[in-house]
């Protein structure tokens, strides 16, 4: 089973999902809203596991 992660941005945006899904959502958010480019590794380092 894939692990679910969550990330809450300082701007108030929040996203939750499996690794691959979260990477797509957060890289898009970072670029579209903050004009930042983030790597898969950066996204996974900032995300935390969803509490069960």
Evaluate the CA torsion angle 34, 50, 5, 38 in order and state its sign: positive
Strands across the sheet with 14-18, in order?
A: 14-18, 4-8, 48-49
Domain containing residue 39: 4-49
Tens digit of each residue's pLDDT (9 = 90 or more) over 1-52: 678 999 999 999 999 999 999 999 999 999 999 999 999 999 999 999 998 7
pTM to 2 decimal places: 0.88
Count of domains forming the chain? 1
- Backbone φ and ψ for 39, nearest 5 degrees, come out as -90, 165
């Amino acid at each position: 089973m894939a692990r679910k992660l969550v990330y809450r941005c300082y701007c108030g945006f929040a996203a939750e999902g499996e690794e691959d899904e979260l990477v797509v959502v957060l890289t898009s958010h970072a670029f579209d809203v903050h004009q930042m480019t983030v790597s898969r590794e950066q996204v996974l380092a900032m995300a935390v596991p969803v509490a069960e």
